Structure 1
């Protein structure tokens, strides 16, 4: 009986590993990581903001954090959002300069952002005109 159960478990695991992704699974959302006493969403050691849920059409506060050399963190910040399925683009944040260290990050900035519709959005950050990183988020109705 044990051999039979183990065989079915093995078949199930192999089948799940090779199963195609459904449409919702194709949009990845960045993972979380710990920085200071906060849980962040983004790319650990590079870019992130304090984890929060996005709701379509609602302005919400987000504290962005950046890790890098001082030369990379010098200049204005521009964040452009792109909807993964529709390709809709929107400028969601623009500030003249970043603030200093916070929560283990080398720089940070508070923000108020809103995304117009539900789905997966790519938030591309540019500092001083240069691409810095992307945070991928899921927006709910």
Structure 2
């Protein structure tokens, strides 16, 4: 007996549900969407479009990048995570549309220190981006 692709058709039927160790596995569309990570390379001033994944800021010519970040959509984007990484040695900035965590005008701009690898980690909840961690960033 030999195996050749296409000669041994396999059909998987989950219409009765999926169980692992006798436990039903269920997920909502929202839960599955949380695993949908995206990537954006931002090479000039502009908007960060990624809401769940990684944005690397790396301008193709010398100079600082001024990035903007729209608020996440309440409920739809809850618990999405965004990591913004500076891929260039510049004091890049990320300006939140309405401030990080709703902190007001004193918490709406993240400024990177100017080192490659500066990082800003965010979590979406309730229509706001909450800072969960930074590496060499200041918030003002």
User: TM over 0.5: same fold?
Assistant: no
Q: Which has the larger radius of gyration?
A: 2
TM-score, normalised via structure 2 length = 0.29
* Structure with more of its chain in helix, by fraction: 1
**Greater share of strand:** 1
If the length of structure 1 is used for normalisation, what is the TM-score? Answer: 0.29
By relative contact order (CA 8 Å, sep 6+), the higher-ranking structure is: 1
